[in-house]
Amino acid sequence: MGEPVDSLISLRAFVAAAEARSFKGAGQALGVSSSAIGKTIARLESQLAATLFHRTTRTISLTEAGALFLVRARRMLDELQAGEAELAEASGTPRGRLRVSLPVTGELLTDALAIFVETYPLVELDLDYSDRIVDVVEEGFDVVIRTGATGDSRLLHKPLGQFRWQLVASPTYIAKRGMPTSADDLPKHVCLRQRFSTGRLIPWILPSASDLRIPASLTASIIDALLDLTLVGTGIGCFPEFLVRDALRRGALVPVLDGDVEQTGVVTMLWPASRYRVPKVRAFVDCISQYNRLA
């Protein structure tokens, strides 16, 4: 294998390991073993005469030299991607790897994703499900879908649709603790709250009790975990209506203070402005916009 190909493989392995913060995660992202990633990076370190990662038995972290090299490595891969994009644009055929970050509660997009995969077989769709706030550009995502808008000037964005939030609990919980008759009753209940990766709690907007301090009896960063806890009768949770619609219909959950929550959200698709000319990005944006279940 020639030197340019070896260098490209090394750069991709290094960036993948830095983003995943593990050789195993990098291997999964690139479809190779963790030992292959480790050997590739060891050869790169030898070539550069620099240590790029601090290693322990469980984790890796960038050294100062590694952090500096990561900036250049991403820039080189971005240039390569830009070159590939120009060639792809010339042919007009969507192709290549497409990295997309989605919220954990991404079922509204399942049908659209299936249609995209069937329609564009030359695109390798790499989905990262997470509720954390990601840096679209720095982490190398082509498209990110989140609940909420953005003020990042580097990004183009498109709202996919709006939804309403709803307080719910299981019949088991209500039988045990009683049904709140007003927002003022909530401090007497177990309230399950979601928090951002920053630690800030997602608010419960109840205009009838705007000054009320809502308890945070249990908090979690992943909304699916809160839904599971709500379903087994742990407490009262606040969720997008599309996430609890089926459970309400079959009686696994019941509405709490229905109509008191005046809280809406928006699902937004974001992508770097520089990449919209790339056929695979444009095709994905158009497909998700047309076929998502909020459209």
- CA dist 130 and 106 (Å) reads 10
How many CB atoms lie under 10 A from the CB of residue 269?
22
- CA dist 192 and 204 (Å) reads 11
Q: Are residues 53 and 98 located together in one domain of the fold?
A: no
Nearest to 260 by CA among 144, 162, 168, 126: 168
pLDDT at 87: 65
Tens-of-pLDDT digits for all 295 residues of the chain? 334 436 788 888 999 999 888 898 888 888 888 888 989 999 999 989 999 999 987 789 999 999 999 988 888 887 777 676 666 655 678 888 899 988 877 677 888 999 999 999 999 999 988 777 777 767 778 898 887 655 566 678 888 888 888 999 999 999 999 999 988 899 999 999 998 777 788 888 887 666 778 899 999 988 889 999 999 999 999 998 888 989 999 999 999 998 777 777 888 898 887 766 788 988 999 999 988 877 5
Q: Are residues 154 and 121 located together in one domain of the fold?
A: yes
Q: Are residues 136 and 268 located together in one domain of the fold?
A: yes
Q: Are residues 167 and 22 located together in one domain of the fold?
A: no
Exposed / middle / buried, residue 252 (Cβ in 10 Å: 0-12, 13-18, 19+): middle
Q: Which of 75, 91, 107 is the last residue of a domain?
A: 91
Name the one residue in this structure whose structure tokens are 């699902």: 267
Q: Which of 76, 91, 106 is the last residue of a domain?
A: 91
Q: Are residues 115 and 169 located together in one domain of the fold?
A: yes
- CATH at residue 52: 1.10.10.10
Q: Are residues 143 and 270 located together in one domain of the fold?
A: yes
Is-above-0.85 flag for pTM? no
- Stated as kind and residue range, the H or E segment containing 219 is strand 218-220
Structural domains in the chain (count):
2
Q: Are residues 104 and 191 located together in one domain of the fold?
A: yes
Q: Which of 66, 91, 116 is the last residue of a domain?
A: 91
Q: Are residues 239 and 102 located together in one domain of the fold?
A: yes
Taking phi over 0 as left and psi of -120 to 50 as alpha, with beta for the rest, 21 belongs to left
- CA dist 251 and 171 (Å) reads 8
Q: Are residues 142 and 69 located together in one domain of the fold?
A: no
- CA dist 152 and 165 (Å) reads 25
Q: How far is CA 81 from the centre of its chain?
A: 22
Q: Are residues 181 and 239 located together in one domain of the fold?
A: yes
* Residues 6+ away with beta carbon under 8 Å from 19: 26, 29, 139, 140
pLDDT at 89: 59
- Cβ–Cβ under 8 Å, residues 234 and 218: yes
pLDDT at 163: 85
- Cβ–Cβ under 8 Å, residues 215 and 186: yes
Q: Which two tokens stand for residue 195?
A: 């928090």
Per-residue three-class SS string for 49-103: CCCCEEECCCCEEECHHHHHHHHHHHHHHHHHHHHHHHHHHHHCCCCEEEEEEEC
- CATH at residue 141: 3.40.190.290
DSSP-H helix ranges across the chain? 3-20, 23-30, 34-48, 64-91, 110-119, 171-177, 223-231, 241-249, 279-291
Q: Are residues 179 and 277 located together in one domain of the fold?
A: yes
Nearest to 274 by CA among 79, 102, 120, 126: 79
Q: Are residues 48 and 190 located together in one domain of the fold?
A: no
Facing residues of 62 across strands?
53
Domain range for 64: 1-91
